[in-house]
Amino acid sequence: MVASPSVDPGRLAEFLAESTYAVRRRVRVDILPGTTRHGLEEAEVVAAANRAGYKAAGNDGRALLRAATQPTGSGGSLLLYDDDAGHLVAVIGDHDWLGPPVTTTPVSVRLTQPTIVSTLARAAASLWTSGLPGDPGASDRWRRLASEVEEGAAVEEIRVGSLASAVQTSVEVLIDDEHVAARTESPDTVRVGRVHSGPDDRPGTAKGISVQLVGRGAAFVTAARANYGGRVV
């Protein structure tokens, strides 16, 4: 699942071309644009996804490769995928996955901790609700995945014991209006993410997803921003 703050026609075409190989392997690909202000209507995004899916896997491809029928209005930049071990992984930051090319390098963090990833999967479910109203199946699937992640983590904790003492970074997920209330409080706290917000930060105007890091992970992000101009950490 890729939630992108915006969509550029050329970048979308490249992404759909690359997605063809995944769809042929029966991998589901969900596309959630926040806005379509770069000369592309949402209906065109849906039509392009339908064509690419059909070309890759016939009628099955239209179910495997899907785009939201309307923009979510969110500035959230979020990627969710299964790794080789079948674990759900999240990448969150300020990268505009499908937007126009930029000259600055964005910063993203890769997260695998089940509690955080399941929270982000539920955020993805909410985005699907706003981007594909009238079709609960898409959002239900991400909620089910979130529950499976939580259940698997609980079973693993029972098997090997709690690893809380080894945690070196605390992570807080911020969604929409939570960005307005939450403020960084110390030098070892950083925020990674992207949000669309109104000029006066009134409730209901902030739309996006971020993570606030405290501890060792925050230091890594600070170093990346300072020394490399941004990268996936």
Q: What is the DSSP string of 6-25?
A: -B-HHHHHHHHHHHHHHHHT
Question: Region 112-127: what's the mean pLDDT?
Answer: 89
DSSP 8-state code for residue 98: B
* DSSP SS3 for 114: helix
Nearest Cα to Cα of residue 173 among 203, 153, 193, 188: 193
User: At residue 231, does pLDDT exceed 80?
Assistant: no
Amino acid (1-letter code) at residue 135: D
C-alpha to C-alpha distance for 140 and 181, rounded to whole angstroms: 29
Task: Say how far residue 5 (Cα) sits from the centre of its chain.
Answer: 10
| pLDDT for the residue numbered 86 | 81
Question: Region 30-44: what's the mean pLDDT?
Answer: 84
Specify the pTM: 0.83
When mean pLDDT is compared across 68-77, 105-114, 121-130, 193-202, the lowest value belongs to 193-202
C-alpha to C-alpha distance for 105 and 226, rounded to whole angstroms: 12
Which token pair is 101?
């090319």
C-alpha to C-alpha distance for 179 and 212, rounded to whole angstroms: 10
Q: How many CA atoms lie within 13 A of 195 on its CB side?
A: 23
Question: Region 85-96: what's the mean pLDDT?
Answer: 89
| pLDDT for the residue numbered 195 | 85
| pLDDT for the residue numbered 184 | 63
Task: Say how far residue 11 (Cα) sits from the centre of its chain.
Answer: 17
Amino acid (1-letter code) at residue 76: G
pLDDT in tens, 105-116: 788 899 988 889
Contacts of 52 (CB under 8 A, 6+ apart): 16, 17, 19, 20, 23, 61, 65
Q: What percent of the chain has pLDDT over 70?
A: 83
Give the Cα-Cα-Cα angle 137, 138, 141 (nearest 5 degrees). 80
C-alpha to C-alpha distance for 48 and 119, rounded to whole angstroms: 30
| pLDDT for the residue numbered 129 | 85
